[in-house]
Chains A and B, each alone.
Chain A
């Protein structure tokens, strides 16, 4: 970020800590440029919002995994990630690309940005399918994922421990099949 006020260290640590004040600052500093670019290149406000938020989530994941390499300001980095994501989205929608108004310095960000974007899309899809499961399935799976002891799960659900495990397996299989049959998922592969 072309820091007018705060250090890059502060901003990065703030993103990592999901600090509202930091995110508001990042929004204020970096979003207008991204919005202007996307709206000048076949996009609208909603596209700009989706792409910008995705760039922050990607940055967060890279920070968390200790593999963010910054060779420029964070503002330029975010803009470059947004540009790459938007160009790929236009390409996927088979819209012609006659890029205008880049307006800011951009750099090549690693291909892993797209890998993280793809993973985020899959995860959103998985969560949407989870939401469609029967309530008891969601409850059983949630309890297993929260590492609640099997005995407690069985008690809460009114199952035997053996049946609780079996039910968890059945629910997971329902979820896997539902995702595998989804056309969006097939397109993602």
Chain B
């Protein structure tokens, strides 16, 4: 078999047993083979890193609203422009595909609040490994994040609560504690955490808290309250605007 086909089979997860072992040995000992593997693997990574593409799109929008971009330079980075166009198309297509898939299911099957919740809920990402020069609550926060990252939500929650016992202003701890409460099925406490953040208002978690609060209501089958929260999100410039609109179409 051609080596390129073998690499593609590996990337597709189709190599097993001896064939896989032989492939990995070859990869370790042949620089040319490794080079061929790397480009193929990187292409797949580049085409699937939609989170980075979303971030780039968001940064472009923010830059336009932030200030002038008068002097535009043509340089070796020129491909960024056409690539950005592709990124926009890709992002739009992805959105259309995902929306279509969801609408397809929605139009063909009826979902309960719980099922809708399961389709849209995922725990917020953590950044467990950040180390800083500070100590005390920062150290506890890092440990909490590490536990959160390992889906050990019960113990992460204990640590977030420890921080809140020391520092009642730690909005990040309120937020992650809220997600931990969702994960441990304590929806009322989750709602309290998110509501605190929303009432506080002068912080960077309001957008996220509104989304998770609405999902908490959805999961506890409080449809009308959930609807009001999703409507507020859908009518805002929130990152969760499209998802909230999709849910409203089903509620």
Listed in ascending order, the chain A residues whose CB lies under 8 Å from chain B are 5-14, 16-25, 27-28, 31, 44-47, 49-50, 53, 56-57, 60-61, 63-72, 119-120, 122-128, 130-131, 141-142, 144-146, 169, 172-173, 175-176, 179-180, 184
Contact = CB atoms under 8 A, between A and B. Distances in A.
Given A66-B127, A123-B46, A125-B79, A20 B68 contact: no
Contact of B55 (A57, A126, A130): A57
A64 B48 contact: no
B170 interface: yes
Interface of B: 4-5, 8, 12, 39-40, 42-49, 51-52, 54-56, 58-63, 65-73, 76-77, 79-80, 82-83, 85-87, 90, 97, 124-133, 141, 149, 170-173, 175-176, 202-208, 237, 239
Contacts of B44: 145
A120 B127 CA distance: 21
B205 A131 contact: no
Nearest to A46: B73
Contacts of B97: 146
Choose among B59, B97, B131, B237 the residue with the greatest number of A CB atoms under 10 Å from its CB: B59
A175 B43 CA distance: 9
Given A53-B63, A145-B47, A180 B39 contact: yes
B127 A126 contact: no
Nearest to B134: A8
**Nearest 4 CB-CB pairings of A with B:** A66-B129, A9-B172, A123-B46, A131-B86
B176 to A, nearest CB: 8
Given A17-B239, A53-B63, A124-B80, 18 more contacts: A7-B172, A13-B175, A13-B204, A17-B125, A20-B239, A27-B62, A44-B71, A44-B73, A45-B68, A45-B71, A46-B73, A50-B77, A53-B56, A124-B46, A128-B79, A144-B12, A145-B44, A184-B79
